[in-house]
Chain A
Amino acid sequence: MSNSMEDVANAAQAALIIGSNTTEQHPVFGSMLRRAVNKRGLKIVVADPRKIDITEFAVLHLQQNPGTDIALINGLMYIILEKGWEDKAFIEERCEGYDEFKATVKNYPPQKVSEITGIPVEKLYQAAEILSVNRPSAVIWAMGITQHITGVRNVMSLANLQMLLGNMGKPGSGVNPLRGQNNVQGACDMGGLPNVYPGYQPVTNAEAREKFARAWGLKVESGKVEGSEANLQPSTFNLPDKVGLTVTEMIPGLADGRVKALYILGEDPIMSDPDTAHIRHCLEAADFIVLEEIFPSETSPYADVLLPGVSFAEKTGTFTNTERRVQMVRKAVEPVGDARPDWWIIAEVAKRIVAGGGRQIAEGPHAGWDYPDANTIMTEINALTPSYGGITFARLEQGKGLQWPCPTTEHPGTPILHTKQFSRGRGKFMPIDHVPPAELPDDEYPMFLNTGRVLYHYHGGEMTRRASGLMAVYGRPLVEVSPLDAEKLGLEGQQRVRITSRRGSIEAEAWVTDRVPPGMVYANFHFPEASANELTIAALDPTSKIPEYKVCAVKVEVV
């Protein structure tokens, strides 16, 4: 998030919530937004094919057809330009690429946009007006925006909208993606990505490679050796300079032999990846899979080694939330049985691989693997990650967490990004065109499937399906079907339905509700016996490689 949650809830005059079921996926932020509506009249516009809970608190609900977000945003921007509501000074001072962008937006007049999105023209005008008149306005989104083949372009569209309205770098504004899992932000920040080291230092950048090579005791490409390092035994190994594979490439890579072994830490691809049947086939082809987990997950049947890690309650360290706030996680109970903290396990594996030889590691300030605790690891992170430079356990123990960038131990942290300029200097408007989803309904598979989570469960359900109270309230998979479709299908009450896509089929109980529009069903991926991912399509965004979970075509039958 460019801004913090409290800031959006306190200072935004209007908010566009698009592709985020905020009250169910980020419930406490959802209730902060409801409070803002109640207390100070925050005006919310929701753009979502489903009538999600937060629509009750919205002044306007736009029910766009699945996968038409770009057309919708372009349409709103067309109206903003037509009415002269753009922030000319902001665009002039802070942005570039405006003319080319404008030319593209001109191709999205309201009538055309209405046809693509299914939203009536007058609602488009209302939405544009609400967001323009009530500034600063914030845009909030989640996976409903990113999980499309156009995910990256959807996000760029929203950035265009916010730059056009001058909604950047000030309280109550900004681009605010809500991260799904508790530490997605941290996993990205810490280099858990194929293209960057910790702190988003690119692996393709020679300077960054040199920095990490020196720290980690590998061969320094430039050959420059400084001072005392001259005496060290040099390594002959480089850090790789080529971007690695994403998860959505790695797993299929097992089937075609590019990838032979996998180290999976606390993830459950069988539940969380698209097109489960294909994932099974891929995992089965692996030479070797080590799975570090707290439960025998749905992925464990494919693992060769299972290493028992621990839950958040059994270890000390940090998580980084969706607003870049790093906070302490503290050990409350001893690990169960002989389970061990995951950082200990990873270090022990590393030590043994290094000891086996084959890829020599020289001395270096951070080359070793002896970590008595997580604090020692954080000290290494401080040294190598500029944005985390001043985020130490000592400071976190005292305060309210720290929002990065926080380069030094004197720095107070950064609640709002881009106040003076964008990270790349000027904000670049990108001309972006609508592209339809990879798979649309047809005669054989006539309905849209939309997927996601519900309030009472979390991701693949590994933890929440083992929480007794949560199961008492939501103990079995439900598929949302609209009343109109229920009638067409001859569905009476809570009967079972079979949902089939080109990739698989599931059976689950139907929940007839007007939360979904006619022509769409909604399923979650919390339960292995009927996981939506048996049905989803592994069509990827070309840049982010994020699968299009939010749209595919299915047929529905009463069982």
Chain B
Amino acid sequence: MAVKITIDGIPIEAREGQTILQIARERGIHIPTLCYHKDLSPTGNCRICVVEVAKQRFLQAACVTPVWEGMEISTHSERTVRSRKLTLELMLANHPQDCLVCDVSGSCELQDLAYDYQVEVPKWGSKGTRYVADSDPNPFVRVDFNKCILCRRCVLACGEIQVRNVWGVAYRGFEEKIVAGADTTMLDARCESCGQCAAYCPTGALTDKMTYGKGRTHQVTKVTTTCTYCGVGCQFDLNVKDGKIIGVTSNPDAPVNGMALCVKGRYGYDFVHHPERLTRPKVRRYLLEGQAKPKQISKSANQLWEWVETDWETALTITADKFRATRDASGPDSIGFLTSAKCLNEENYLMNKLARQVVGTNNIDHCARL
């Protein structure tokens, strides 16, 4: 059923049951939001998305108010703007004034709104910190409730996306705060360290601990790629600064997973820069000295079994010569190829071509079986 409404004087046909925010977004009309996120159930608790509806005494939260026939909405009336400014002022009054050193400066929705509405921290506000910063031992999620605006996105992200229900709201009035389980640590509250709560948090209250202090959003290059771990095939953005991966952020357009990731995909990237990475080809000394392979290699203290770093040409030539000699002496089926379920399609194709075309064997397999 069509419902005729006007938004800022523009006549619009909405569908019955749509909220003001939904139809406004559909039509490209901007209404600011903070606690609202399209993936999560709207709660209407931050009061930033308030709009004025003709003949209504109170301002209405656009994210939870359904449209009705004849509704006349104004999104930026003087009254709404004043109300939003006041809401922001109250939030900032309880917020540390440390954007200069805050990790999410530049990607903080509170900061953006303060800028849009030109609201500064009120003189009467911000009487110092109330909570210990970095208060949770979870190795991935950094918790700083001084920056929390009680929007409850984390509660919904954990409850509705991850479906783990770690976060809740406890205490009343000024003491109201977000807690893990019965106000314990995240891991004790059965957190799976997926980082969804940090990804949905609009402020610096929940952030990625591994990224903390390493770079802000405008300093990084984001490269969208596919996870190297399981077969779900989640996509995300690698955040790169100075040639190093400093973090992973969700990419809302990821086809399989949207914003969701698991602990391995989101936080398991630092192996890439691990000091044990192999950086140069190595061959056993016996190969360089034209000797026979030592017997009983696993117990070998034999010098001929030492690794020697070489250039690519040497290592590639030795490898190719050995394979060719083995093929010619013992037949193609004396060579086996273990290709890799961790490598690219293109690389697996080449292994198949190498085994079949160049060596002439079908001895190729990988650990699908394992």
Q: Does any Cβ of B come within 8 Å of A401's Cβ?
A: yes
Q: Does any Cβ of B come within 8 Å of A336's Cβ?
A: yes
Q: A306-B307, A353-B323 are in contact. Are A343 and B350 (CB under 8 A)?
A: yes
Q: Mark A238-255, 1 if CB is under 8 A from B, else 0.
A: 111011111110110100
Beta-carbon contact of A346 and B354 below 8 Å:
yes
B228 to chain A, nearest CB (A): 4
B341 CB contact (under 8 Å) in A34, A182, A401, A467: A182
CB nearest neighbor in B for A338? B280
CA separation between A346 and B224, bound complex, in Å? 26
B143 to chain A, nearest CB (A): 15
Q: Does any Cβ of A come within 8 Å of B328's Cβ?
A: yes
Question: What chain B residues lie within 8 Å of A549 (beta carbons)?
Answer: 370
Beta-carbon contact of B320 and A259 below 8 Å:
no
The 3 closest A-B pairs by CB, nearest first: A337-B279, A321-B233, A244-B362
Beta-carbon contact of A239 and B324 below 8 Å:
no
A523 to chain B, nearest CB (A): 16
B292 to chain A, nearest CB (A): 10
Q: Mark A185-199, 1 if CB is under 8 A from B, else 0.
A: 111111111110110
> A31, A212, A243, A466 — which one has the most chain B CB atoms within 10 A of its CB?
A31
CB nearest neighbor in B for A400? B255
User: Could you pull out 18 A-B pairs where Cβ atoms are within 8 angstroms?
Assistant: A28-B232, A35-B160, A183-B343, A183-B348, A188-B366, A192-B348, A198-B349, A239-B357, A242-B362, A284-B298, A288-B326, A296-B276, A301-B298, A309-B278, A317-B345, A342-B343, A347-B350, A470-B263
A residues 442-492 near B (Cβ < 8 Å) are: 455-456, 458-459, 463-464, 466-470, 472-473
Known: A197-B352, A338-B312. 7 other contacts (CB 8 A): A183-B341, A244-B363, A284-B296, A307-B316, A342-B343, A353-B327, A361-B357
Q: Does any Cβ of A come within 8 Å of B302's Cβ?
A: no
Q: Does any Cβ of A come within 8 Å of B206's Cβ?
A: no
Beta-carbon contact of B228 and A312 below 8 Å:
yes
Q: Mark A333-366, 1 if CB is under 8 A from B, else 0.
A: 1101111111101111110111111110100000
A residues 115-156 near B (Cβ < 8 Å) are: 146
Beta-carbon contact of B319 and A327 below 8 Å:
no
Question: What chain A residues lie within 8 Å of B335 (beta carbons)?
Answer: 259-263
Q: A321-B231, A349-B323 are in contact. Are A265 and B338 (CB under 8 A)?
A: yes
Segment at the interface with A among B12-20, B105-113, B121-129, B236-244: B236-244
CA separation between A500 and B117, bound complex, in Å? 68
Q: Does any Cβ of B come within 8 Å of A98's Cβ?
A: no
B164 to chain A, nearest CB (A): 8
Question: What chain A residues lie within 8 Å of B214 (beta carbons)?
Answer: none
CB nearest neighbor in B for A190? B348
By a beta-carbon cutoff of 8 Å, the part of chain B in contact with chain A is: 139-140, 160-163, 187, 192-194, 209-210, 221, 223-235, 238, 240, 243-245, 253, 255-257, 260-265, 267-274, 276-284, 287, 293, 296-298, 307, 312, 315-324, 326-328, 330, 332-370
Question: What chain A residues lie within 8 Å of B339 (beta carbons)?
Answer: 187, 190, 192, 265, 267
CA separation between A123 and B303, bound complex, in Å? 64
CA separation between A468 and B284, bound complex, in Å? 31
Segment at the interface with B among A43-51, A61-69, A372-380: A372-380
Q: Does any Cβ of B come within 8 Å of A167's Cβ?
A: no
Question: What chain B residues lie within 8 Å of A455 (beta carbons)?
Answer: 192, 262-264
Question: What chain A residues lie within 8 Å of B227 (beta carbons)?
Answer: 182, 312
A216 CB contact (under 8 Å) in B260, B353, B359: B353
Question: What chain B residues lie within 8 Å of A325 (beta carbons)?
Answer: 233, 255-256
Question: What chain B residues lie within 8 Å of A361 (beta carbons)?
Answer: 357-358
B267 CB contact (under 8 Å) in A28, A264, A334, A469: A469
CB nearest neighbor in B for A57? B163
A100 to chain B, nearest CB (A): 29
CA separation between A456 and B194, bound complex, in Å? 10
Beta-carbon contact of B298 and A302 below 8 Å:
yes
> B324, B328, B362 — which one has the most chain A CB atoms within 10 A of its CB?
B362
Q: Does any Cβ of B come within 8 Å of A105's Cβ?
A: no
Beta-carbon contact of A343 and B346 below 8 Å:
yes
CB nearest neighbor in A for B368? A184
Beta-carbon contact of A261 and B336 below 8 Å:
yes
B225 CB contact (under 8 Å) in A329, A348, A354: A329
B230 CB contact (under 8 Å) in A181, A287, A309, A469: A181
CA separation between A546 and B321, bound complex, in Å? 33
B352 CB contact (under 8 Å) in A178, A192, A313, A463: A192
Q: Does any Cβ of B come within 8 Å of A314's Cβ?
A: yes
Q: Mark A295-307, 1 if CB is under 8 A from B, else 0.
A: 1100001101111
CB nearest neighbor in B for A351? B320
Q: A184-B368, A267-B367, A337-B279 are in contact. Are A374 and B344 (CB under 8 A)?
A: yes
Beta-carbon contact of B346 and A27 below 8 Å:
no
Q: Does any Cβ of B come within 8 Å of A8's Cβ?
A: no
Question: What chain B residues lie within 8 Å of A304 (beta carbons)?
Answer: 283-284, 287, 293, 322
Question: What chain A residues lie within 8 Å of B343 (beta carbons)?
Answer: 183, 187, 265-266, 309, 342
Question: What chain B residues lie within 8 Å of A15 (beta carbons)?
Answer: none
Question: What chain A residues lie within 8 Å of B230 (beta carbons)?
Answer: 25-27, 180-182, 458
B207 to chain A, nearest CB (A): 14
Question: What chain A residues lie within 8 Å of B233 (beta carbons)?
Answer: 182, 319-323, 325, 327, 401
Q: Does any Cβ of B come within 8 Å of A308's Cβ?
A: yes
Beta-carbon contact of B262 and A27 below 8 Å:
yes
> B261, B272, B339, B346 — which one has the most chain A CB atoms within 10 A of its CB?
B346
Question: What chain B residues lie within 8 Å of A29 (beta carbons)?
Answer: 232
CA separation between A195 and B362, bound complex, in Å? 7
Question: What chain A residues lie within 8 Å of B324 (beta carbons)?
Answer: 353, 356-358
CB nearest neighbor in A for B362? A244
> B224, B228, B370 — which one has the most chain A CB atoms within 10 A of its CB?
B370
Question: What chain A residues lie within 8 Å of B262 (beta carbons)?
Answer: 27-28, 31, 455
Beta-carbon contact of B272 and A359 below 8 Å:
no
Question: What chain A residues lie within 8 Å of B323 (beta carbons)?
Answer: 261, 263, 288, 290, 349, 353
CA separation between A170 and B282, bound complex, in Å? 53
CA separation between A535 and B265, bound complex, in Å? 30
Question: What chain A residues lie within 8 Å of B238 (beta carbons)?
Answer: 313, 332-333
CB nearest neighbor in A for B340? A266
Beta-carbon contact of B279 and A338 below 8 Å:
yes
B264 CB contact (under 8 Å) in A239, A293, A458: A458
CB nearest neighbor in B for A29? B232
B303 to chain A, nearest CB (A): 15
Beta-carbon contact of A190 and B345 below 8 Å:
yes
